[in-house]
């Protein structure tokens, strides 16, 4: 732990320009903002890099992408970052009422120790890896109210005052017949976040929910939508902002879905998990607590050509104490040697969780 500590603090000290605790210095001159989910930040090597586009492929059957969106948006608001939110609903602003509230540092610690006692060794591996870093994060900013990444209580709505404090743009994508208006709104929002040499003064977040959903006026204008994403990407690349776009790949043609995926810097997908599946329950530890799966397809490669190779690409989404979101590597349940068939199945499952895709 000492080693981790020293390397970490050196990193901090060598980044004089990043004084803002809501930012984290990455390698190759990138700066991360938090996704709002501590585990996801860890998986992605720090968070979402500024100037990148994150795409989340939705599951047609489950709303897990909303969890990612909510935490991402809340985290931004906690950090006093301007927010741009677009959704295909008629009243996008109503969604802000569902944003989760951060768990305070004190509560969080209680939660951590609680859970450790409660869950025992099963999750210990995960915490061993970065618990120290966590701890340190909290220590570093003890005097400061802000943390790089908060835990959020999904049951508790965000305080009203946070919603009024910051600039929040809400756009409904349902009505407009074309994307010109939307594009203009985006570019006005991003104009305040333009990059310059003075470092990062202000960081913005863009969240676009279910872009190109069938109810959008332009859902059949596939080339226009692509062109929009491309221009958004080029605007983001020159701004201090991150955009997260969720989209339903099943309603796009396969070829266009691939084009979307190529445009993403970071590409994630969420999957529902079958309910009361006895086979799965046998295979995976903690099946009862899982609410879905997260798959990491692509990790942003900004200013570098080296791909990020993750130890695992499929993670289970769990609700800890029914309120805070955690991601865990799929753990294979110990298998009794007597049942040959299930052994073979679990073997293939663990193999795919390492490298390939896990299709359910």
d(CA 53, CA 207): 10
Q: Which range, of 67-75, 145-153, 252-260, 339-347, touches another protein by CB under 8 A?
A: 252-260
Judge contact between 35 and 48, C-beta under 8 A.
yes
Q: Which of residues 19-78 bind another protein (CB under 8 A)?
A: 25, 27-31, 50
Q: Residue 20: which of 69, 71, 81 has the closest Cα?
A: 81
d(CA 208, CA 206): 7
Q: Which of residues 182-241 bind another protein (CB under 8 A)?
A: 195-200, 222-224, 226-227, 230-231, 233-234, 237-238, 240
Q: Which of residues 257-316 bind another protein (CB under 8 A)?
A: 258-259, 261-262, 267, 297-298, 301-307, 309
Nearer to another protein, 146 or 357 (CB): 357
By the rule CB under 8 A, 177 interacts with another protein: no
171 alpha-carbon distance from chain centroid: 21
Nearer to another protein, 156 or 181 (CB): 181
Smallest distance from another protein to CB 33, Å = 12
What are the DSSP E strand ranges found in 139-178?
Answer: 152-157, 168-172
Smallest distance from another protein to CB 228, Å = 10
Residue 29, judged by CB atoms within 10 A of its CB (0-12, 13-18, 19+), counts as: exposed
Number of residues assigned to the chain = 360
Distances (CA, A) of 11 to 25, 47, 116, 135: 8, 16, 29, 16
Nearer to another protein, 215 or 360 (CB): 360
Residues making contact with another protein (CB under 8 A): 14-17, 25, 27-31, 50, 195-200, 222-224, 226-227, 230-231, 233-234, 237-238, 240, 253-255, 258-259, 261-262, 267, 297-298, 301-307, 309, 352, 354-356
């Amino acid at each position: 732990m000492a080693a981790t500590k020293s390397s970490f603090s050196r990193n901090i000290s060598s980044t004089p320009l990043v004084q803002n605790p809501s930012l984290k210095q990455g390698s190759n001159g990138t700066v991360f903002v938090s996704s709002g989910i501590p585990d996801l930040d860890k998986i992605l090597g720090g968070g979402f890099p500024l100037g990148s586009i994150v795409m989340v492929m939705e599951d047609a059957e489950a709303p897990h992408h909303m969890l990612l969106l909510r935490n991402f948006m809340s985290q931004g608001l906690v950090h006093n970052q301007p927010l741009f939110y677009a959704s295909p609903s008629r009243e996008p602003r109503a969604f802000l009422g569902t944003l989760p509230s951060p768990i305070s540092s004190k509560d969080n610690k209680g939660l951590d120790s609680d859970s450790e006692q409660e869950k025992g060794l099963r999750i210990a591996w995960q915490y061993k890896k970065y618990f120290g870093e966590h701890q340190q994060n909290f220590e570093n900013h003890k005097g400061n109210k802000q943390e790089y990444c908060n835990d959020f209580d999904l049951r508790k709505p965000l305080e009203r005052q946070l919603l009024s404090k910051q600039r929040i743009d809400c756009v409904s994508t349902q009505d407009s017949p074309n994307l010109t208006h939307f594009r203009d709104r985006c570019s006005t929002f991003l104009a305040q976040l333009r990059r310059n040499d003075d470092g990062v003064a202000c960081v913005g977040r863009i969240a676009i929910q279910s872009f190109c959903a069938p109810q959008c006026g332009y859902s059949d204008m596939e080339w226009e939508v692509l062109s929009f994403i491309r221009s958004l990407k080029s605007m983001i690349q020159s701004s201090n902002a991150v955009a997260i776009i969720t989209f339903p790949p099943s309603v796009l043609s396969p070829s266009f879905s691939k084009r979307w995926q190529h445009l993403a810097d970071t590409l994630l997908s969420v999957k529902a998990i079958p309910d009361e599946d006895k086979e799965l329950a046998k295979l995976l530890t903690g099946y009862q607590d899982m609410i879905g799966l997260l798959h990491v397809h692509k990790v942003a490669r900004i200013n570098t050509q080296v791909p990020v190779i993750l130890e695992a690409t499929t993670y289970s989404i769990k609700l800890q104490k029914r309120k805070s979101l955690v991601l865990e590597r799929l753990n294979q349940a110990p298998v009794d040697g007597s049942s040959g068939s299930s052994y073979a199945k679990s073997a293939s499952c663990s193999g795919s969780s390492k490298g390939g895709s896990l299709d359910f």
